[in-house]
Amino acid sequence: MAMEVVGYGDRWSVQPGESIQIMVSTAHPRYRARVVRLIHGDTNPAGPGYKERPVAAAIEGEYAGREQGYHPGSFALVPNAEALQPGEGFTLSAWVFPTTPGERPQALLAKWDAVTDAGYALLLDAAGALALRLGDGRGETATVSTDAPLRPFTWYWVEARFDPATGKVRLRQRSHTPPNVPSSTVETEANVAVSPAATVAPFTIGAWSAHGAGDREVGGAHFNGKIEAPSVRRGGETVAVWDFARDFGSDRITDVGPNGLHGQTVNAPMRAVTGHDFSGRVSSYLLAPEEYGAIFFHDDDLEDAGWQPDFAWTIPDDLPSGVYAIHLQAGDAEDYVPFVVRPRRGTTTAPIAVLLPTYTYLAYANEQITWRNPDSPVPHDPIQHLQAQDHYIVAHGLKSAYDHHADDTGIAFSSRLRPVLNLRPKYSTALILAPQHFNADLYLIDWLEAMGHPYDVLTDEDLHAEGSSLLVPYRVVMSGCHHEYWSGQMLDALEAYLADGGRWMSLTGNGYYWPIGIDPARPHLLEIRRGQNGTGTWRSAPGENWFQTVGEPGGLWRDRGRPPQRLVGVGMSAAGFDRALPFHRLPASHDPRAAFIFAGVGDDEPIGDAGLMMGGAAGLEVDRADVALGTPPHALVVATARGFSNSYLRAIEEVTAPDAHQGGPDNPAVRGDMLFFETPNGGAVFAAGSITWFGCLSHNGYDNPVSRITDNVLRAFASDGWPGDGAGQDLQGAEEPPVTSANERSLG
């Protein structure tokens, strides 16, 4: 099931007149490329089937194939400098916090050329002990080790001295432990006959120089762990001291020594992490930067695959906004490189906009942890349902911000400058055996096309960069089906849009949940700090919940005083994996303010009892109203989905003590709510409260209650007004939605 041709683009959103560069790797001598417009990406025969439209483009044709590889692993490098050459001897020192010692050699501080075996490298050897390696560049090397392996997740002060006059090497490692744990110190001396050679290789921290790849330096012997305060001395004189407690949000490392030997990080290691003297008195690096002088390196970090471009396409002025892809084909193998064509900045081509949740796509990019879970909550074995994309992800070590590093710590960064193989049409997840994320959002694109609604397509990255000015021209904006990750700028923009009379169709479950950090200088890179709360696959270490990129706390938006209910009326309530259920109307659905929503829907008609995602409209993750968390008092909860199995459990952030009543049959908070309310200046919000809503849109030839409700709301929101427009502006005495956190049985 190998993928024999793979590609990616340098951007996910492009407007007419701009160019997108495409990078391709294939072992085939030739491949073909063409442009298609994506309409429906699910190949399931129970639905409309796969739909694409060919687009005439000058780039269509045949290209020479070549293989392009990956060079993962983060480290820091300082350009070659005479002061760092080994000729007059040296002393290397640093605080180190190894997390996988003993698996293989791992370089700490090095001016080492792995191609010629020249220079010097302070490292952990294959046994995990501190060692110094010297090489003369002519085939002779010598290594001295303490033969005392370092313990994982323990701070050590390490030091290595080399005197070329005597050939003596001195090594010292001292553990830094809590007061009730004995510290250990190991010292070793040995004479060596090898004189280390000068080398043009850079000085590296967290790896050594393996070779160059074009204009990129590639590391080897990558270190897993933290390094703090690395320094180089000659005799008694300081050559360099790098202070990692500076430049937290950048790829720069600053030398505070006399020579100004500054450098940069490669592949986005994690910064703003605690150092050896972290006291726990504060939880942010902004308050005590001296306690955060470490960088956390990993051998699987990858900021940029760095492939060379094969071709570029300039978007024609008359190309409609939509979802497109470059289709690559080599022999019988194929790949798609999706991207969005948005309108030119400051213009629109339709009254309706679809905001694709590209930051959520990026958080889940190449995710594999859910189907690797030996205790997977689904009734089938996910490993038996992997697709070619999954096998490629594993074979090439690609990971998401849900996966773990080799040391089992969580991955804090995800980049779009690499192939993202689960961002593809025709792809279904092994977890639910149906599309999720991007391919599930194509259900909405297909429905808009089938129903004849004109629309523009925008992305999270567009909204983050442009704010509410992006949304204001549209009468109505529709979310994706899993709009989970939001920057502060995006939330501010949506709030401003609604306050100014905008109309928002929140067709998502588990939306507006996690904050993210986006580096202004590196917009391709998404940062996540998960804190100690929320439904996720890892937790931040103590003191490490603040974004290095934007200087704000991570965790959940609700923990920062911005719960989803305050914005759209509903928020994360429960998650489950066996099947989705239909919604059923509530008395509020007959309120004159909401009557337009249910035109053509029977009083007792199930809303979404068949669909392409888990078989129903309310499933996977569902949201509920809760006035205690900010649901507006005049909001109408017009339908609900209840009766979930024990596969569905209440969101963990709401459970303060464990009991046996957190599942669907016992806990009334395990439900999905459909909701509507007006906002100032003629605006409104409709929230479906479920991830699987889109999967029902095409059922029965697009003639079903989910399709009907979506169409009713969209047509009303896209008009100058809707039945009952202006109702709800006088909110005194409005019936409030239920207060769930106060009166429902739960210890959480």
| pLDDT tens for each residue of 694-721 | 999 999 999 999 999 999 999 999 998 7
User: CA 589 to CA 674: how far, in whole Å?
Assistant: 10
Pair 456, 349: CB distance under 8 Å? yes
The yes-or-no verdict on residue 324 having pLDDT over 90 is yes
| pLDDT tens for each residue of 85-112 | 998 899 999 999 999 999 899 999 999 9
In CATH, the number for domain 75-297 is 2.60.120.200
The yes-or-no verdict on residue 288 having pLDDT over 50 is yes
| pLDDT tens for each residue of 472-519 | 999 999 999 999 999 999 999 999 999 999 999 999 999 999 999 999
Of the pLDDT bands very low, low, confident and very high (cuts 50, 70, 90), residue 180 is: confident
Of the pLDDT bands very low, low, confident and very high (cuts 50, 70, 90), residue 742 is: very low
Torsions phi, psi for 397 (to 5 deg): 65, 25
Q: Residue 89's pLDDT is what?
A: 94
In CATH, which of 3.40.50, 2.60.40, 3.90.1150, 3.30.2010 is domain 5-65+316-341? 2.60.40
% helix, strand, coil for the chain, step of 5 = 15, 35, 50
Q: Residue 745's pLDDT is what?
A: 34
Domain 5-65+316-341 and domain 75-297 have a common topology:
no
Sequence-distant (≥ 6) Cβ neighbours of residue 618 within 8 angstroms: 580, 581, 582, 583, 608, 641, 672, 689, 690, 692, 693
Of the pLDDT bands very low, low, confident and very high (cuts 50, 70, 90), residue 737 is: low
| pLDDT tens for each residue of 668-698 | 999 999 999 999 999 999 999 999 999 999 9
User: CA 405 to CA 537: how far, in whole Å?
Assistant: 12
| pLDDT tens for each residue of 105-133 | 999 999 999 999 999 999 999 999 999 99
The yes-or-no verdict on residue 358 having pLDDT over 80 is yes
Nearest CA to 709 among 721, 727, 719, 696? 696
| pLDDT tens for each residue of 234-284 | 988 999 999 999 999 999 999 999 999 999 999 999 999 999 999 999 999
Domain boundaries, the chain: 5-65+316-341, 75-297, 563-721
The yes-or-no verdict on residue 38 having pLDDT over 60 is yes
User: CA 197 to CA 244: how far, in whole Å?
Assistant: 29
Strand partners, 553: 546
| pLDDT tens for each residue of 8-19 | 999 999 999 999
Pair 345, 380: CB distance under 8 Å? no
Q: What is the mean pLDDT of residues 288-314?
A: 98
Structure tokens at 509: 């479950």
User: CA 323 to CA 339: how far, in whole Å?
Assistant: 6
Q: Residue 103's pLDDT is what?
A: 82
| pLDDT tens for each residue of 656-671 | 888 889 999 999 999 9
Of the pLDDT bands very low, low, confident and very high (cuts 50, 70, 90), residue 177 is: confident
